[in-house]
Amino acid sequence: MFERYEKQINYEKIGRIGQERLQQSKVLIVGCGALGTVVANNLVRMGIGHIRIVDRDFVELTNLHRQILFDEEDVANSMPKAKAAEGKLQKINSEITIEGMVKEVNSRTIEDFIKGMDLIVDCTDNFKTRFLINDAAFKYNLPWIYGGALGTSGMVKVFIPEEKSGCLQCMIPKPPDSGALPTCDTAGVVNTLTGVVANLESNEALKYFLGFIEEVEKDLVFMDLWDNTFKKIPQRKNEDCPCCVKETYRYLENKRPEATYICGQNSIQINLGQDNMNLAEIQQRLESKNIQTRRNPYLLSFEAEDVEIKIFKDGRAILKNAKNEDVAKSIYAKYIGY
């Protein structure tokens, strides 16, 4: 049972007892893209006992340069990232539990996803979800690891609620406005950076699970790989913070469905809070109107009005090349219905 972990067990700070701790640990990975595939790969290979991966998206060709668990066959089959990752990871380590969940992490779902977990690793590409993770983590006293990557610059920060040393809202009072920051569509991202950021996230998770809490990095680690510079930036707790001090969780309490822009794909996701969509019925209706479709066990694909549309069983739709959110909502209503 321990043979596969022999090399890390030989490291004095892990040993057999440390390996047993890892195998008893449970992690929620939010997002399975450039960061999430690397984090999931690391945690599976180090022997974390239960890994839950939640991702709303499917594999596209532009993912392959940095998202290490996917291949061209996944692109051809429009495989959901969470399921494609689950299948590959289970072949790497069949001794652990791996859950790939084709869902969106939002204010209506996150509390179910964090149940039974010991740690949350942020592998998302937007601050809206990170503020939601922060609310849930501090409400339920769960540590979480923030990671971000853009261009050649990245950041990593660990938040441990029980230490009462501050949260994401202490560091950033509110999410940046839409369009206020560059995205991977406009600024790009280098795959060496996403690997470094995700490896640092994985390393902090390792230290946490081994019980070396005092050695977990408490500062914000900022890096620029083009200049080969790394900086540690101390963060201060805001004694008037609405989240970690006043214990109000506005992002968690906002249960409204919405449209959101997906970085890196020129896509908009529509989520109207529906569930258990009958994809076969929708497919039949579309094909009766001479609209060609493709369906796999997870989603239904078709094109209309120069927009590529993928509908998931949980009611979400991702519309690629829609000009804006209003256009996306209009197409959703026309072809799928509210």
Specify whether the CB–CB gap between 133 and 272 falls below 8 A: no
The pLDDT score that the predictor gives to residue 275 is 65
**Residue 74 and residue 113 in one domain:** yes
Domain end, chosen from 253, 285, 308, is at 253
Shared domain check, 325 and 213:
no
pLDDT tens per residue, range 210-232: 999 999 999 999 999 999 999 99
- Ramachandran area for residue 126 (φ above 0: left; ψ -120 to 50: alpha; else beta): beta
pLDDT score for 292? 94
80 SS3 class: strand
Q: Are 295 and 279 in contact (CB under 8 A)?
A: yes
**Cα–Cα distance for residue pair 26/306, rounded to 1 Å:** 43
Domain that holds residue 18: 3-253
- Alpha-carbon separation of residue 132 from 10, 52, 107, 137, 238 (angstroms): 39, 18, 7, 9, 18
Rounded Cα gap, residues 40 and 302, in angstroms = 31
- Give the C-alpha separation, 151 to 189, whole Å: 4
pLDDT of residue 161: 97
Q: What is the pLDDT of residue 166?
A: 96
Asked if residue 270 and residue 193 are part of one domain, the reply reads no
Query: Do 141 and 87 share a domain, yes or no?
Result: yes
3-class secondary-structure state, position 189: strand
Tokens encoding 279: 């994809």
pLDDT of residue 308: 93
How many domains, in total, are found in the chain? 2
Query: Would you state the pLDDT for residue 128?
Result: 86
Res 258: pLDDT: 63
Question: Position 233: which residue type?
Answer: I
In a shared domain, residues 206 and 328: no
Q: What is the pTM of this model?
A: 0.84
* CATH number for the domain harbouring residue 232: 3.40.50.720
Tokens representing 274?
């529906």
Q: Domain check: are 298 and 221 in the same one?
A: no
Of the candidates 172, 57, 48, the one whose C-alpha atom is nearest the C-alpha of residue 105 is: 57
Q: What is the pLDDT of residue 324?
A: 83
Low-confidence ranges of the chain (pLDDT < 70): 177-183, 185-186, 256-259, 263-265, 272-275, 338
- 3-class SS of residue 157: strand
